[in-house]
Amino acid sequence: MTGYLDQYGSDYDFDKDESWSMGSPPIQKGFTNFWGGQTSFWGFEDYETKHKRKIIEKTASIFEDLTGNRIHINMNGEKTNISSDGSDYNLDVNPNDAEDEIKTKTRVERALSHILANSPIAEMNIIANRETMSLRKQYNYQTEAIISSFKTIFDSLEDRRSQFIYGEQYTGAGIRFNEARKVEGKEFEGIPEDPITALKMSEKGRNDLVEKSKFKAVIPYVQKADRTTEKGVAKLTRDCYKKVVEPWLKDLLEKMDKFQQQQNQCTQKQNENNKAQQRARDEQAQESSTEPSDSEEQDKSKPPSKALEELENEGIELSNKSQKLYDETNKIGTELNKGFAQHTYENDHTNFTQSDKKKQNLDGMDLDKVDLSKEEKEAEGQLEEMEKALDGLAEADDGGSGFTPERHYNNVTFAKNIPMESSYKFIDQQSARKLSRIFKKIQASTKMMLSDEGTEIDTEALIDAKIKGYGDFMRDDETTVGFDIVISVDESGSMGGNRMHAVKKLTATMMKALEEIPSVHVQVIGWTGGMTIRHINKLNEVDNLHATGGTPFAGAIAYSTKYVLGLKSRRKLFFMVTDAEIDDYEVDVAQKALAHMKKHKVKCVGIYIGHENIPPMLGEVFGDDRCIGFRDVTKFKDFVVYDVARMVQRYLKGGS
């Protein structure tokens, strides 16, 4: 789904943002939180922390709307963690905990996913006590370890379930969760030697190692956790504990008891041996205290009596045996502790209770009667309901003021252009001729408009709609009308050299190709610095484009949106050309802007200058099929004639 969460669940990467000077994002109305916050020397929350908090608030506000409960945000947390008492939620955020390549945003989203999943974390404590009762009675000195094993199983499976639910609603988060698992999976080396570690490794994607262990039976439990309900994950936890973990625990604890009993017996024998040795020495000392005869003088040089020597040898054997038994017992204890060792990245929730409004009565539930196949179907229904709820929020939001571009930029400075003959040198004449022929051919023909109503089926569009799962495939005749092509160009400093050269070639070549087609107009909007805007409407002004300053991405796309929607043509095509890593700035603004333009029938295309591999978040914003990656200037002809022309041609023919 690319709906409400895509629109508001910002992909803004505040862990790597270096653009604080570009101005703060707009404050969202109707959302208030309490926070601790890091403070500057003067006692105020420092700018960077304040900026991050605003982004987190935007994401958290979605969950407030969904649940009707408040989320209190504390930006001064020791770690990123969520808790709940059944009504309000408390989100602690450590804005500096982005170690191990896992970003703060990902940690926040993983914590918030428990709200979306309505995780029964506190409720599982009751089930853990109930299901581990028999083993705890037998080995009461290991109560904490036994209960910990059950809770660890649940935490691993519930983390998987909650992240799957969030990822299904918001594909960007799903990508980040998978990447985080890969990072965390690197911590595990070698084949697991206990089922708890095996389960954690499987949850972190290390089935390659788990498959080689004797605990590979844990894998299906992790896989089934993706698509189930609260009841389903409770049953999976109980079954995994009873069938895999408890037998392992019982075997170890029986061995530990056996060794401890033997050690106790050995210790008792050692004590008896020590006493016997002492008696033997006392007897010798008593004998030596009397006046010795000549024969007794000779006896002093003799070795100790056979009885004492045997007792000393026996004592050495008992000591060695006791040490061996101690080592064996300690080895088992180490094995137990290794399985229960908690990793910090798993502790993203404490005292988390299900929402009072959607509470499940799990503590009194007979888990034997829970049908996992039915729970899977119910989980699908829950996902559909959640999607409808999110769509409803999106519609309600759009029904109000909608996206207001002016909120996302201010203090615009307009750069002046001068006619420059050097602009003409950027025209690729061969590509311009080819493009011109393509456009003229299309202009001379009748365009078939696709819609949900029409007089004829477009077979190609029908097949495409079947593949994508959506799309119109009925067509009506409509005479082709003129339209505007707007190219929004990143003029930041990183766009220098070959990148800006390629942009000038693109704009000059397209302007040349379309100069004889009066119904098609090409315009360029350059942007850089705080908010410096350059409008280019003539071919001889192209060489005014130059690379300098920062990257005000959010402000630029907001300004471009307002400009494009202000044009009078009936049809518009928008190109966004940049080398920016989109997640380095407010992507939620870009998503809202593009959604706003698409509602007004503007087709939007992203062009990533610098590499053929498109950054995931840029592909997510524009759509993988509406984003082009371009690096090699020597392949410019192919890029313009095939990639760009294909986008224009598809639009002119009525495609999406």
Q: What percent of the chain has pLDDT over 90?
A: 16
Question: Residue 283 has what pLDDT?
Answer: 81
Distance CA 13, CA 30 (A): 24
Asked if residue 434 has pLDDT above 70, the reply is yes
Answer for the pair 151, 351: CB distance below 8 angstroms, yes or no.
Answer: no
Report field, pTM of the whole predicted structure over 0.85: no
Answer for the pair 578, 552: CB distance below 8 angstroms, yes or no.
Answer: no
CB burial string 36-58: b at 16+ within 10 A, e below: ebbeeeeeebbeebbbbbbbbbb
Kindly state the helix (H) or strand (E) to which residue 640 belongs, with its residue range: none
Asked if residue 199 has pLDDT above 90, the reply is yes
Residues in the chain: 656
Residue 567: φ, ψ to 5°: -70, 150
**Quick one: 436 and 374 in the same domain?**
no
Position 348 in a domain: yes
The three-class DSSP label of residue 442 is helix
Q: Which of 5, 311, 329 is nearest to 171 (CA)?
A: 5
Position 263 in a domain: no
pLDDT digits (tens, 9 = 90+) for 554-570: 889 999 999 999 988 87
Beta 81-84 vs 89-92: how paired, if at all?
antiparallel
**Quick one: 495 and 358 in the same domain?**
no
Residue 343's pLDDT band, with cuts at 50, 70 and 90, is very low
Question: Residue 422 has what pLDDT?
Answer: 93
Question: Cα–Cα distances in Å, from 299 out to 92, 280, 290, 634?
Answer: 81, 16, 13, 106
Position 440 in a domain: yes
- Range with the poorest average pLDDT among 18-32, 108-122, 418-432, 536-550: 18-32
- Range with the poorest average pLDDT among 301-315, 323-337, 414-428: 301-315
**Quick one: 364 and 494 in the same domain?**
no
pLDDT digits (tens, 9 = 90+) for 49-71: 666 677 777 778 777 877 778 88
Q: Which residue has the higher pLDDT, 652 or 544?
A: 544
- Range with the poorest average pLDDT among 221-230, 260-269, 394-403: 394-403
Domain that holds residue 595: 410-445+480-652
Position 271 in a domain: no
pLDDT digits (tens, 9 = 90+) for 72-93: 888 888 888 888 876 788 888 8
pLDDT digits (tens, 9 = 90+) for 580-592: 765 544 677 888 8
Position 294 in a domain: no
The three-class DSSP label of residue 520 is strand
**Quick one: 421 and 495 in the same domain?**
yes
Asked if residue 332 has pLDDT above 80, the reply is no
**Quick one: 174 and 110 in the same domain?**
yes
pLDDT digits (tens, 9 = 90+) for 18-44: 332 223 333 333 333 333 333 333 344
Concatenated DSSP letters for 277-307?
Answer: HHHHHHHHHHHHTSPP-HHHHHHHTSPPPHH
pLDDT digits (tens, 9 = 90+) for 268-299: 888 888 888 888 888 878 777 665 555 555 55
Residue 425's pLDDT band, with cuts at 50, 70 and 90, is very high
Question: Residue 479 has what pLDDT?
Answer: 41
Distance CA 322, CA 333 (A): 16
Residue 633 CB burial class (10 angstroms; 0-12, 13-18, ≥19): middle
pLDDT digits (tens, 9 = 90+) for 441-471: 666 554 444 544 455 555 555 555 554 444 5
The three-class DSSP label of residue 82 is strand
Region 10-23 average pLDDT: 36
pLDDT digits (tens, 9 = 90+) for 371-401: 888 888 888 888 888 777 776 665 555 444 4
Position 280 in a domain: no
**Quick one: 431 and 537 in the same domain?**
yes
Question: Residue 18 has what pLDDT?
Answer: 34
Answer for the pair 82, 111: CB distance below 8 angstroms, yes or no.
Answer: yes
**Quick one: 519 and 648 in the same domain?**
yes
Q: CA angle at residue 410 from 404 to 412, to 5 degrees?
A: 120
Q: Which of 399, 392, 402, 397 is nearest to 66 (CA)?
A: 392
Question: Residue 342 has what pLDDT?
Answer: 43
Asked if residue 210 has pLDDT above 90, the reply is yes
Sorted by sequence, the CB contacts under 8 Å of residue 1 that are 6+ apart come out as 168, 169, 170, 171, 387, 390
Distance CA 108, CA 74 (A): 12
Residue 369 CB burial class (10 angstroms; 0-12, 13-18, ≥19): exposed
Could you give the number of structural domains in the chain? 2
Residue 509 CB burial class (10 angstroms; 0-12, 13-18, ≥19): buried
Task: Report the CATH number that the domain containing residue 587 is assigned in CATH.
Answer: 3.40.50.410
**Quick one: 355 and 428 in the same domain?**
no
Position 454 in a domain: no
**Quick one: 354 and 435 in the same domain?**
no
The three-class DSSP label of residue 600 is coil
- Range with the poorest average pLDDT among 46-50, 85-89, 105-109, 334-338: 46-50
Q: What is the mean pLDDT of the chain?
A: 75
Question: Residue 296 has what pLDDT?
Answer: 53
- Range with the poorest average pLDDT among 258-262, 264-268, 368-372, 448-452: 448-452
Residue 378 CB burial class (10 angstroms; 0-12, 13-18, ≥19): middle
3-state secondary structure 562-583: HHHHHCCCCEEEEEEEECCCHH
**Quick one: 414 and 386 in the same domain?**
no
Question: Cα–Cα distances in Å, from 491 out to 170, 351, 496, 570?
Answer: 31, 50, 8, 29
Asked if residue 233 has pLDDT above 60, the reply is yes
Cα 368 versus chain centre, distance:
34
Question: Could you count the other beta carbons within 10 Å of the beta carbon of residue 11?
Answer: 26
Question: Residue 631 has what pLDDT?
Answer: 67
- Range with the poorest average pLDDT among 144-148, 403-407, 626-630: 626-630
Region 425-430 average pLDDT: 89
Concatenated DSSP letters for 90-149?
Answer: EEE--TT---TT--HHHHHHHHHHHHHHT--HHHHHHHHHHHTHHHHHHTGGGHHHHHHH
**Quick one: 75 and 188 in the same domain?**
yes
Question: Residue 43 has what pLDDT?
Answer: 42
Question: Could you count the other beta carbons within 10 Å of the beta carbon of residue 28?
Answer: 12
Distance CA 514, CA 640 (A): 13
Distance CA 175, CA 172 (A): 5
**Quick one: 32 and 158 in the same domain?**
yes
Q: What percent of the chain has pLDDT over 70?
A: 69
Residue 634's pLDDT band, with cuts at 50, 70 and 90, is low
Question: Cα–Cα distances in Å, from 548 out to 275, 488, 493, 528?
Answer: 90, 16, 4, 7
3-state secondary structure 299-327: HHCCCCCHHHHHHHHHHHHHHHHHHHHHH
Distance CA 378, CA 28 (A): 35
Asked if residue 414 has pLDDT above 50, the reply is yes
Position 334 in a domain: no
